[in-house]
Amino acid sequence: MSGPATMFDLTGRIALVTGANAGIGQGIARALAQAGADLALVGRSPADETVELVREAGRRALTISADLSTIAPVGEIVERTVAEFGRVDILVNNAGTIRRADAVDFSEEDWDSVIDTNLKSLFFLCQAAGRQMIAQGQGKIINIASMLSFQGGIRVPSYTASKSGVAGLTKLLANEWGARGVNVNAIAPGYIATRNTAALQADEVRNRQIVERIPAGRWGRPDDLAGAAVFLASAASDYVHGHILAVDGGWLAR
């Protein structure tokens, strides 16, 4: 049996992280590299800063430019990772988008844009990586869910639908693949201080309302997700299947 330290050791593992150029994706990629994994970094924009962080941790980094608003690049993403590293042990589905408008005014374009990226591409990337992992006999898939996997929110109907769908797919895939050596789980971040939430942080009234609701009394940071990501990627979570782990400063408990 592995000791406590080695249970979290990812040395020799290959991790594929989408949306890895900044924010949550970058924080998770860095944490996995620091735990010993080599990284395939997927994003629409350059991930030079993330590459440097991975290399600072002494690990290898492959960058793959891909737009996950369609499923077209999904097969190539997995194929390139396997061609470079020989396998895929960990998939982190972090890429996502959001559109805001009142439900009575919400457009089909805004609906499709979010669902296609956050749910459709996520499923088909799980499928492509899952086939590889099943053939290997093991793998870890970590989907990025949301507080809106549990709550309704306002003015984000397609985002709420997509993240509720991510929670459901996480459980379905865990049911199908758990006995085949593949763990499928999700992390549901709370309010995390990133560029995507800069407008909320800058809104004095909304920022105060958010912080007052969080028992921890502060916004989260990308590195607050590091421990959860390493846990779900490592042998420490081998008997954890279909779980959605909230990393929210206590938001859901309020």
Q: Give the total residue count for the chain.
A: 254
- The H or E element that residue 88 is part of is none
Residue pair 113/100 in contact (Cβ under 8 Å)? The answer is no
Residue located via tokens 């749910």:
119
Q: Is 191 a catalytic residue?
A: no
Two tokens, residue 187:
């992390």
Catalytic residue among 85, 123, 159, 251: 159
Whole-number Å distance between alpha carbons of 203 and 209? 10
SS3 187: strand
Q: What's at 87, amino acid-wise?
A: R
Nearest CA-CA partner of 225 in 201, 195, 174, 190: 190
Whole-number Å distance between alpha carbons of 22 and 216? 24
- The H or E element that residue 79 is part of is helix 74-85
Whole-number Å distance between alpha carbons of 254 and 252? 5
Task: Report the catalytic residues.
Answer: 159
